[in-house]
Structure 1
Amino acid sequence: MRGLDFERAAQAQRPDPNRVDIACFVGFVARREGALPAAVRAELARARWTDGPWARPAAELETLLQLPVTVDNWTAFDALFAWETRPLGTAAGRCASTLGAAVRRFFACGGRRAVIVRCGDPWPHLEAA
């Protein structure tokens, strides 16, 4: 060894402000039954939703109501939200929520990451009169 060699590092690229592969969706979708995955719970803890000024009780965290949750693919969204259980107004059937349909299309068209903010359960779908 003869000493130290220094290499100039390439300058970090600035993120493109016009990216369209990351989006935020806010709307009505039901929370799927079951415990909150550990990864989602850890994300909420890192964002200080479990302690700190915006802390929520554990039972409230389970609902994901009014909380930003990041998903990286359709499978992750489908595991957290019962997007296909929007009630039909006059029948016993179910249909897709508009939020679920939008997120599914986003990932089908090449989206890479979505931030989901659940506002509550979807309203029943009513046929036009």
Structure 2
Amino acid sequence: MLDLPIDQQIERIRGDLHVLRSKITYEEDIYQNQVTQLQMKQEHTRQIYSLLLKFSQNNFDMCNRAVKQVHQDEQAPPHIISLEANLCSVIHHLGKIHIQTKLVNEQSYDTAKIHMAGVGHHAEMAAIKEVELLK
């Protein structure tokens, strides 16, 4: 390139700079698209999280009512006991999703693993209780 006249060297350098600017603009556009998509996913996750909280609370209230009815009536019909068992399962499942969503948002994966282990234990205990209730 040094053997070319100065004017041609300058034009070649300008061409190279133009190509570099185009690549940088392209990369910036890709990055901005990724940021926008991530923001949309975060908003979507927040909306799902909010709905799960409402749904979980409603089911938790229903489960509490079913539990109270079972405890008040020692001769509770099987469908009530089954309802309680099913609702407990739903609540534990929602609890797992709730914790996963919350902690993934906070990007606290180690904490998520600890909490998931705790929720898993509670779900296991609930499953044992459900089996005993259905006997």
TM-score category (smaller protein) = under 0.3
TM-score normalized by the length of structure 1: 0.25
Larger radius of gyration: 2
Structure with the larger strand share: 1
Q: Larger RCO: Structure 1 or Structure 2 (Cα < 8 Å, ≥ 6 residues apart)? A: 1
Structure with the larger helix share: 2
